[in-house]
Amino acid sequence: MREIATTDAVGQVLCHDLTQIIKDKKKGPAFRKGHIIREEDIPVLLSMGKDHIYVWERDESILHENEAADILYQMCRSEYMEPSEVKEGKIEIRATRDGLLKIREDRLMKVNLLGEMMIACRHNNTVVKKGEVLAGTRIIPLVIEKEKMEAAKEAAGEQPLLMLKPIEPKKAGIVTTGNEVFYGRIEDTFTPVVEKKFKEFGAEVTMKTLVGDDKDNIRQAILDMIAQGAEVVVCTGGMSVDPDDRTPGAIAATGAEVITYGAPVLPGAMMLLSYYHREGGEAVPVLGLPGCVMYAKRTIFDILLPRILADDPISKEEIASLGVGGLCLGCPTCTFPNCGFGKA
**Would you give the DSSP letter of residue 254?**
T
Strands 171-176 and 232-236: what pairing? parallel
- 154-157, long-range: CB < 8 A, 24+ apart: 155/107, 155/110, 155/111, 155/113, 155/114, 156/75, 156/107, 156/108, 156/110, 156/111, 157/104, 157/107
Say what the pLDDT of residue 262 is.
Answer: 94
Q: What does the alpha-carbon distance between residue 99 and residue 162 come to, in Å, rounded to a whole number?
A: 12
* Under 8 Å between Cβ of 124 and 342: no
Q: Choose among 161, 4, 138, 148: nearest CA to 63.
A: 148
* Percent of the chain residues past pLDDT 90, beyond the cut: 69
As a whole number, mean pLDDT of residues 89-112 equals 97
Confidence band, pLDDT 50/70/90 cuts, at residue 58:
low
Ranking 63-72, 229-238, 242-251, 252-261 by mean pLDDT, the lowest is 242-251
As a whole number, mean pLDDT of residues 85-102 equals 94
* Percent of the chain residues past pLDDT 70, beyond the cut: 98
Q: Name the strand (E) or helix (H) holding 64.
A: strand 62-64
Confidence band, pLDDT 50/70/90 cuts, at residue 18:
confident
Confidence band, pLDDT 50/70/90 cuts, at residue 240:
confident
The DSSP string of 70-107 is HHHHHHH--TTEEE---BTTEEEEEESS-EEEEE-HHH
Average pLDDT over the chain, rounded to an integer: 92
Q: Residue 5 corresponds to which amino acid?
A: A
Q: Count Cβ atoms below 10 Å from residue 68 Cβ, excluding itself.
A: 28
Say what the pLDDT of residue 209 is.
Answer: 95
- C-alpha distances in angstroms, 289 versus 24, 251, 273? 53, 12, 9
Q: Indicate if the pLDDT at residue 26 is higher than 90.
A: no
Q: Which residues are within 8 A (CB) of 37 and not within 5 positions of it... i.e. 6 or more apart?
A: 9, 10, 11, 12, 13, 14, 31, 45, 53, 55
Q: What does the alpha-carbon distance between residue 157 and residue 292 come to, in Å, rounded to a whole number?
A: 42
As a whole number, mean pLDDT of residues 214-220 equals 94
Q: Choose among 218, 268, 225: nearest CA to 248.
A: 218
- Higher-scoring residue by pLDDT: 57, 316: 316
How many residues in the chain? Answer: 344
Confidence band, pLDDT 50/70/90 cuts, at residue 244:
low
* Under 8 Å between Cβ of 175 and 234: yes
Q: Indicate if the pLDDT at residue 62 is higher than 90.
A: no
Q: What does the alpha-carbon distance between residue 173 and residue 167 come to, in Å, rounded to a whole number?
A: 17
Confidence band, pLDDT 50/70/90 cuts, at residue 145:
very high
Q: Indicate if the pLDDT at residue 243 is higher than 70.
A: no
Q: Indicate if the pLDDT at residue 315 is higher than 90.
A: yes
Q: Choose among 338, 311, 342, 336: nearest CA to 167.
A: 311
What pTM was estimated for this model as a whole? 0.83
- Higher-scoring residue by pLDDT: 179, 294: 294
Q: Which residues are within 8 A (CB) of 333 and not within 5 positions of it... i.e. 6 or more apart?
A: none
As a whole number, mean pLDDT of residues 13-25 equals 80
